[in-house]
Amino acid sequence: MACSLENYPHRRRNLLTGEWVLVSPHRAQRPWQGQLESLPVATRPVYDPQCYLCPGNERAGGHRNPHYTETFVFDNDFAALRLDAPAAQETFGDLLEAHAERGLCRVVCFSPRHDLTLAEMDTDAIRRVVEVWTTQHAELGSFPEIRYVQIFENKGEVMGCSNPHPHGQIWAQETIPNEPWKETLQQQAYYNRTGNTLLGDYLALELRLGLRIVCENAHFVALVPYWAIWPFETLVVSRRPVPSLLELTEAERQGLADILKRLLVRYDNLFQVSFPYSAGFHQAPTDGQQHPEWHLHLHVYPPLLRSATIRKFMVGYEMLAMPQRDLTPEAAAAQLRRLSEIHFRTEPSVTA
């Protein structure tokens, strides 16, 4: 069953935030005379003496990286949040309000290899990154000041990533930020009403409909959400309703590495380019409360629309009114589903 509104402008509700997205399927064919953005597939050296993330190199703050061989985590030298901020606030009547925010920022190098991306690393190496995310989440979440841990990656210059060396970031802070806060409220309301997690029931429905599934394994499913905003946006959901990475079994952590590998290879294959995106986990707050309503998931927000050089811009209408998309989520899922899970840059000799 396809969406009964697929030929007409319509709006869809985002289950996780309660917000709406405008879908205009008939516009997908409109002519394009705008910017052609070039994203060359550059070949990079295995080690770059100028890179501040490569093993053994000096960083901007004067610290020197160890000669790490797998993953490496360090405190961000230009952290947006600090633990030593004073507990201060400022208000002007009920009009203006500000509060000091304490927190910590870390950088996670995924690999010593300057030339790889997560999509090009093997599943065992991705699994080690999953382990680091998990232990970092446990460590940062156990600080009494920290109520939310945001693990994310900006990949590609187009997403504002400053360095091609494969890495992600973790920002951990005193309050629950806007996006996970909206999701907390939506998930709580649903859980209180039904006793099930919102994403557990949503996933069961998507598996039954089969329209928006991209790939799956025994523990995780990658799908284009019904309410996707970005053209090829995906949501990776655990089959078992767990609040965070901390509750995953060993087999589930392996399953997460496997689904990431397969999804990211598909993305690279879509336009035969190292696919840019911002991605990150949403998990239960680390505020000392039980969060049975929370269901671990990963959002992947890639900007590309039609080719390696044509991206979706979130501008006028989106900035002023609401998110809007042309390509339907069902069409995007069908395109991603058709792709190979063998990376387009894999040399035949390497796979043999």
Active site residue 167: yes
Please choose which of Zn ion, ligand H2U, none residue 54 contacts, taking the beta carbon within 5 to 8 angstroms, the exact cut-off set by kind.
Zn ion
Q: Alpha-carbon distance 290 to 19, whole Å? A: 26
Residues 69-108 that bind ligand H2U (CB under 6 A): 76-78, 107
Kindly write out the interface string for residues 49-88 of this chain, putting x where it contacts Zn ion by CB under 5 A and - elsewhere: --x-xx----------------------------------
Q: Alpha-carbon distance 228 to 331, whole Å? A: 12
Per CB under 6 A, 57 contacts ligand H2U: no
We find the least distance from the C-beta atom of residue 74 to ligand H2U, in angstroms, to be 7
Strands (DSSP E) contained in 140-264 are 148-155, 167-173, 213-216, 220-223, 234-238
C-alpha dist (Å) from residue 49 to 45, 69, 114, 120: 10, 16, 10, 21
Per CB under 6 A, 62 contacts ligand H2U: no
Residues forming a β-bridge with 301: 278
Per CB under 5 A, 48 contacts Zn ion: yes
Q: Alpha-carbon distance 140 to 287, whole Å? A: 11
Kindly write out the interface string for residues 88-127 of this chain, putting x where it contacts Zn ion by CB under 5 A and - elsewhere: --------------------------x-------------
Q: Which of 137, 167, 219, 295 is catalytic?
A: 167
Q: Alpha-carbon distance 315 to 313, whole Å? A: 6
Per CB under 6 A, 278 contacts ligand H2U: no
CB 147 within 8 A of CB 286: yes
Q: Alpha-carbon distance 192 to 244, whole Å? A: 19
Q: Alpha-carbon distance 120 to 274, whole Å? A: 9
> Count of alpha carbons within 13 Å of 218, Cβ hemisphere only?
8
Candidate list 61, 124, 204, 317; residue touching ligand H2U; CB under 6 A: 61
Q: How many residues bind ligand H2U (CB under 6 A)?
A: 15
We find the least distance from the C-beta atom of residue 116 to Zn ion, in angstroms, to be 10
Question: Which residues of the shown chain bind ligand H2U in the complex (CB under 6 A)?
Answer: 52, 59-61, 76-78, 107, 154, 160-163, 167, 169
As annotated, the active-site residues are 167
